[in-house]
C-alpha cells in the first residue's frame, strides 16, 4: 500500500479534530428563554417539555466527543433552558417560533453588598486573610443607633471583646453580644440605643456586619451581605435622630475614647468652622492623640466647590463614588428609544404596554410643577399615565412617587437636573419608576416636543454588574478645597457611596415575617463606614501603625483610574480633579502593603496650628 493515501487520511483526521476543537472553544453556555405552547400542558409532561426545548437546539453534536448541548432544563424558575451554543447558532435560533431571548451566562462569585468584592476583598485571600477580617479591632459608630436583632449583627464566629474594652451596653434587654460589644445613648433621643431611622444600622453593617446570605431588596442586588471588616467588634453611640447635637457628639467621642475604640466612624457634619471652633475636629484631634483613627463623611453638597465638611487634616475625609452595579429600569419611549435608569422596586408582572406620557411642567405656571407637586398632578390629569418629573431635593424620590401614585399615575420617570449629571439612584419606590440621568432626560424632553401623543413604558431588567466607568464621583459628593484653609486638599479619598445595600431595621417591602431586611441608600455617610472598615483591617494587620500611617497607606495606594483603565471621572463623565476625588478611589487590597508610609505625630499638627495662629 502506498504511503501517500495514508498520509492524506491522517491529514484529514487532524483537520477534523482541529475543527472540532475550534468549535469547542467557540461554544458558550447560553441561558435561553422560550414560550411554552398553550396547546400543551408541558409543566406536567416533562417529555413534551424536553422535546420542546430540544427543538430549538442544533441537530449536530457540540463536538466530535458528542458533548450534550443541553446543560439544564428549567421547569419552575422560568420557561427555558441552558445550552452550549455558538453565537451563530443563537442567531439561527432567534427565527424560531417561541423564542424570546438568549444571552451568555454570567460568571458569578460569592457577593456581599458587592462593595467588598469591588474593593478587592475576597474570602481567605489578600487583606481579609492578612488582617484576619479585622479581628480584635473595635469600630465606634456615631450615628442613629442600631437595630441589634438584625442577622448582620450575629456574633457567630466572633472572638470575645479585647481585654482593654471598658464599654457598656445600655439596652434594657440582652441585645449586646460579641459583635455589638457596646451600645450607648445620650441626652437627646428616646432613652435607648435602638435605631428607629435606619441610618446607623446601615452604617454599622457596612463597616463590620457579619455574613448574611440572601440579602436583597425586591430580589435585586442579591447575594451575601457582609461588612468590610466582618470580625471587627462594634461599639454604638446613638447621637442622632433627625438631628445630631454637638453636645451629644462630643460626649460620645469622649466616652468612646474612654471605652477603648480603635476606629471612630462619623457620618455627619455641619458648616465649616475654624478648627478651634469645630467640635468634631477637636474631638477627633483628641482621639487621634490616643491612637484612634477617625473617618468622617465629606458631605452631600456637591458638585459645588468649597462645599465639604470635616476638613481637618487629622481626619480622613471621605467622598462618595459609584460601584459597577446598576439596578436597571429602562424607559422605552413610543419612538422605540430606550433610556436606561435605575430602580430597586422592579415588579415582575408589570405589563410592558406603552402608556400616555405626561409632564406637568409643560402646563404648570410655577416652578414646582417641574417636581410634580400635588397641585400640578391634579391639574394635569395623570390617571393611568406615566408621569415625567424632575428630582425634588426638598423631599425624597420615594415621596415623589407616592404623590404620583396617590394622583392615580401608573408610573414615574424621574429626571436629573444638569448638576446631577449621570449619577442615578435605585430607590425602593411605591410605584413603577426609574431615575434617568440628565442626558437621557433631555432626550425625553425632545421626544415630548416632537409628538402630540407621547407614550412610554418602564421595563425592568434587574441587577447588572460590569459598568466599566466605575468608579465615578457621585454628583452629591462635596468638593474641596477646604473652606477654612484652602491649602488643605480635600476630600482625602473616595469610596463606595451610591446605591449601597446594607442592613435596615424594617422591611421596605412590607414583609412582616423576616429579620433579613436590607435597603439601598446613597451618600458620603455610606462611603465613610466603608473606609472605617478598611482602616480596621489595616489596624488589625499593623497594630503598631498610627492613625496618620493608616491614612497615608490608604491615600498613597488609591486608584486614579476606573475599570476601563482611564482616569476616574466625575458626574459629567469628565476627568475628576483632586477636589472631587482626592487621592483617588480606595484600593483596600493594596492599602495594607503600601511600601512607604508618611507618618505624622500629634505635635506636628500642633506646629501647623500654631503656624496658622
- Would you name the residues annotated as active-site residues? 143, 199, 525
- Sort strands 411-415 and 433-436 into parallel, antiparallel or unpaired: parallel
The span from the CA of 74 to the CA of 444, in Å, is: 38
Beta bridge partners of 386: 357, 411
CA angle 400, 404, 410 (to 5 degrees): 130
Q: Which three cell numbers stand for residue 497?
A: 457611596
The span from the CA of 327 to the CA of 220, in Å, is: 7
- 476 within 8 A of 297, measured Cβ to Cβ: no
- 169 within 8 A of 236, measured Cβ to Cβ: no
Which has the closest alpha carbon to 372: 406, 330, 327, 346?
Answer: 406
Alpha helices in 107-219 (DSSP H): 115-118, 126-130, 199-208
The span from the CA of 274 to the CA of 483, in Å, is: 9
Q: Which three cell numbers stand for residue 492?
A: 482625602
Q: Which three cell numbers stand for residue 609?
A: 496650628
Q: What is the DSSP-derived secondary structure letter of residue 92?
A: H
Q: Which residues of 473-495 are buried (b: 16+ CB within 10 A; e: fewer)?
A: bbbbbbbbbbbbbeebbbbbbbb
Q: Residue 354 in 3-state DSSP?
A: coil
**Would you state the torsion angle of the CA atoms of residues 131, 121, 154, 176, taken in this order, to the nearest 10 degrees?**
50
Which has the closest alpha carbon to 493: 320, 258, 263, 305?
Answer: 320
Which has the closest alpha carbon to 127: 583, 527, 536, 546?
Answer: 536
- Determine the straight-line distance between the first and last CA of the chain, rounded to whole angstroms: 104
- Sort strands 220-225 and 212-217 into parallel, antiparallel or unpaired: antiparallel
Q: Of all helices (H) and strands (E), which one includes residue 51?
A: helix 46-54
The span from the CA of 182 to the CA of 34, in Å, is: 54
Q: Length of the chain, please?
A: 613
The span from the CA of 438 to the CA of 458, in Å, is: 17
Q: Across the chain, which distance is largest between two alpha carbons, in Å?
A: 104
**Would you state the torsion angle of the CA atoms of residues 558, 559, 560, 565, taken in this order, to the nearest 10 degrees?**
170
- 238 within 8 A of 193, measured Cβ to Cβ: yes
Q: Which three cell numbers stand for residue 310?
A: 470635616
Amino acid at each position: 500500500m502506498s504511503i501517500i493515501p495514508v498520509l492524506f487520511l491522517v491529514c484529514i483526521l487532524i483537520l477534523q479534530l482541529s475543527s472540532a476543537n475550534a468549535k469547542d472553544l467557540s461554544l458558550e453556555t447560553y441561558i435561553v428563554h422560550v414560550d411554552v405552547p398553550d396547546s400543551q400542558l408541558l409543566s406536567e409532561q416533562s417529555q413534551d417539555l424536553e422535546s420542546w426545548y430540544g427543538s430549538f437546539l442544533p441537530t449536530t453534536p457540540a463536538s466530535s466527543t458528542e458533548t450534550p448541548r443541553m446543560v439544564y432544563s428549567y421547569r419552575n424558575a422560568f420557561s427555558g433552558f441552558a445550552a452550549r451554543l455558538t453565537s451563530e447558532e443563537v442567531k439561527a435560533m432567534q427565527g424560531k417560533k417561541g423564542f424570546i431571548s438568549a444571552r451568555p451566562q454570567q460568571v458569578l462569585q460569592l457577593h456581599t453588598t458587592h462593595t467588598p468584592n469591588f474593593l478587592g476583598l475576597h474570602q481567605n485571600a489578600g487583606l481579609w486573610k492578612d488582617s484576619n477580617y479585622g479581628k480584635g479591632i473595635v469600630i465606634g459608630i456615631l450615628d442613629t443607633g442600631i437595630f441589634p436583632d438584625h442577622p448582620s449583627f450575629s456574633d457567630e464566629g466572633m472572638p470575645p471583646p479585647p481585654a482593654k474594652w471598658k464599654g457598656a451596653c445600655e439596652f434594657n434587654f440582652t441585645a449586646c453580644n460579641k459583635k455589638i460589644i457596646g451600645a450607648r445613648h445620650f441626652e437627646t433621643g428616646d432613652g435607648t440605643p435602638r435605631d428607629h431611622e435606619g441610618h446607623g444600622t446601615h452604617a454599622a453593617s457596612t463597616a463590620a456586619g457579619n455574613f448574611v446570605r440572601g440579602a436583597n431588596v425586591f430580589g435585586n442586588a442579591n447575594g451575601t451581605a457582609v461588612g468590610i471588616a466582618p470580625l471587627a467588634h462594634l461599639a454604638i453611640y446613638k447621637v442622632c435622630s433627625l438631628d445630631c447635637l454637638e453636645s451629644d457628639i462630643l460626649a460620645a467621642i469622649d466616652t468612646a475614647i474612654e471605652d477603648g475604640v480603635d476606629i471612630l466612624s462619623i457620618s455627619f457634619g455641619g458648616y465649616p468652622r475654624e478648627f478651634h471652633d469645630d467640635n468634631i475636629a477637636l474631638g477627633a484631634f483628641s482621639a487621634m492623640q490616643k491612637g484612634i483613627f477617625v473617618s468622617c463623611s465629606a458631605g452631600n453638597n456637591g458638585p459645588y466647590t468649597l462645599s465639604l465638611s470635616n476638613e481637618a487634616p487629622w481626619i480622613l475625609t471621605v467622598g462618595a463614588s459609584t460601584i459597577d452595579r446598576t439596578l436597571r429600569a429602562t424607559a422605552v419611549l413610543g419612538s422605540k428609544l430606550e433610556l436606561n435608569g435605575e430602580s430597586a422596586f422592579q415588579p415582575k408582572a408589570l405589563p410592558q404596554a406603552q402608556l400616555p406620557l405626561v409632564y406637568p411642567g409643560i402646563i404648570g405656571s410655577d416652578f414646582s410643577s417641574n417636581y410634580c407637586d400635588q397641585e400640578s398632578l391634579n391639574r394635569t390629569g395623570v390617571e393611568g399615565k406615566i408621569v415625567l418629573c424632575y428630582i425634588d431635593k426638598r423631599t425624597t424620590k420615594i415621596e415623589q412617587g407616592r404623590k404620583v401614585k396617590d394622583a392615580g399615575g401608573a408610573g414615574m420617570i424621574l429626571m436629573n437636573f444638569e448638576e446631577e449629571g449621570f449619577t442615578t439612584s435605585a430607590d425602593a419606590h411605591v410605584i413603577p419608576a426609574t431615575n434617568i440621568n440628565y442626558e437621557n432626560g433631555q432626550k425625553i424632553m425632545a421626544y415630548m416636543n416632537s409628538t402630540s401623543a407621547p407614550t412610554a413604558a418602564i421595563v425592568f431588567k434587574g441587577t447588572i454588574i460590569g459598568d466599566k466607568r466605575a468608579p465615578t464621583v457621585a454628583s452629591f459628593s462635596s468638593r474641596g478645597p477646604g473652606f477654612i484653609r484652602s491649602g488643605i486638599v480635600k476630600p482625602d479619598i473616595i469610596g463606595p457611596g451610591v446605591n449601597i445595600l446594607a442592613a435596615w431595621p424594617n422591611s421596605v417591602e412590607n414583609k412582616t415575617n423576616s429579620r433579613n431586611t436590607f435597603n439601598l441608600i446613597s451618600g458620603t455617610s455610606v462611603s465613610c463606614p466603608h473606609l472605617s472598615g478598611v482602616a480596621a483591617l489595616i489596624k488589625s494587620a499593623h497594630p503598631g501603625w498610627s492613625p496618620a500611617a493608616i491614612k497615608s497607606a490608604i491615600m498613597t495606594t488609591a486608584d486614579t483610574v476606573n475599570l476601563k483603565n482611564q482616569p476616574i471621572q466625575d458626574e459629567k463623565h469628565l476627568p475628576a480633579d483632586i477636589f472631587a476625588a482626592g487621592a483617588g478611589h480606595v484600593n483596600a487590597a493594596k492599602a495594607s502593603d503600601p511600601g512607604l508610609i508618611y507618618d505624622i505625630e500629634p505635635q506636628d499638627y500642633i506646629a501647623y496650628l500654631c503656624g496658622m495662629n
